[in-house]
Amino acid sequence: MLDAASFVAVLLLLLGVVALAVFVPLVASFLLDGIVAMMRGRGLKAFALAAFSTLATALAGLGLLIASRAVTHDPAGLGSTEEGLSTVLAFLAPAMCVLGVVQAFRRITGRRTV
């Protein structure tokens, strides 16, 4: 049975993992759009905005992971949850990176169908 602090710690851990494994690759796909915008002579605005949002999303995910460690009174229990999530991350992070690149390609080429 989890007490309130352990529940909050696990919840923060899960949110941090989702932020790092799902949102960072999707937000980072806009970096490709920024590179294309620079090549087309539209300046650094799109690239700088994409880089800032990627950094902010990554820092938010890391902040959630650090907060989950600070909240818990049972770091060993949280460690076993982290080990279980590492298997999920081994498949989720690469898949999200591939989908992020596909999404960036679709935005760059203007295609809306697969």
**Is the pLDDT assigned to residue 85 strictly greater than 60?**
yes
* Token reading at 53: 């949002």
pTM over 0.75: no
Query: Model confidence at 46, in pLDDT bands (50, 70, 90)?
Result: confident
35, containing H or E segment: helix 24-39
pLDDT at 113: 54
**Is the pLDDT assigned to residue 58 strictly greater than 80?**
yes
Query: Stretch 72-77: mean pLDDT, rounded?
Result: 70
Please tell me the distance from the alpha carbon of residue 88 to that of residue 24, in angstroms, as a whole number: 16
Most confident region among 27-31, 56-60, 98-102, 103-107 by mean pLDDT: 56-60
pLDDT at 56: 92
Please tell me the distance from the alpha carbon of residue 4 to that of residue 25, in angstroms, as a whole number: 32
Compute the mean pLDDT over every residue in the chain, rounded to the nearest whole number: 80
pLDDT at 18: 83
* Token reading at 29: 């796909």
